[in-house]
Amino acid sequence: MKRLQRRGFLACLASVIALPAAWSTGARAQQLRPLEPILGALTKGVPVRTGRVTLDLPQLADNGNAVLLKVSVESPMSATDHVKSIHLFSNRNPVAEMANFYLGPRAGRAQIVTRVRLAGSQTVTALAVLSDGTFWMDSAPIVVTLSSCMDES
């Protein structure tokens, strides 16, 4: 009798260990993937520099369904020197290109606030395209406890 309990306990323990593994391989678990090919389609070989762009993102999100995100770009936003567009990328979501925002000198300030869905812990990247043809980016890592895109509700 005592032996049976021990065996039952071991079986239970094994299933607990195996469960997260089964989850992560099943359904729509996304692997982290490089963004270079996606960025390359936009930049067409022009080097992307780091700086000028600030991506504000919480370090930890309890819920990936709505994560508040702010992108600001240092720019005078004049007719000759302004931000043309801001692009948001995820390296884990099923759709890597989350959003494109098109601005112009009439925006006055190159700053966008929105809420994004994140399918798990990952790095979010913001790319800014300036009127002088340069590309600037910033990335921010985020830990997402409960990821979006996987719920069945």
The token duo for 72 is 């600001």
Distance CA 98, CA 125 (A): 10
Q: Does residue 113 belong to the site contacting another protein (CB under 8 A)?
A: yes
Q: Does residue 140 belong to the site contacting another protein (CB under 8 A)?
A: no
- Residue closer to another protein by CB (options 16, 41) is 41
Q: Does residue 99 belong to the site contacting another protein (CB under 8 A)?
A: yes
Q: Does residue 22 belong to the site contacting another protein (CB under 8 A)?
A: no
Q: Does residue 75 belong to the site contacting another protein (CB under 8 A)?
A: no
Q: Does residue 131 belong to the site contacting another protein (CB under 8 A)?
A: no
Min CB(50)–another protein separation in Å: 22
The token duo for 31 is 């692997």
Q: Does residue 111 belong to the site contacting another protein (CB under 8 A)?
A: yes
Across the chain, the runs of DSSP E, i.e. the strands, are: 48-50, 53-56, 60-63, 67-73, 83-90, 97-102, 111-116, 122-130, 135-146
111 in Cβ contact with 126 (< 8 Å): no
Q: Which of 29, 42, 107, 140 binds another protein (CB under 8 A)?
A: 107
Distance CA 123, CA 55 (A): 11
The token duo for 4 is 């049976």
Question: Where do contacts with another protein occur on this chain (CB under 8 A)?
Answer: 28, 65-67, 88, 90, 93-95, 97-104, 106-109, 111-117, 148-153
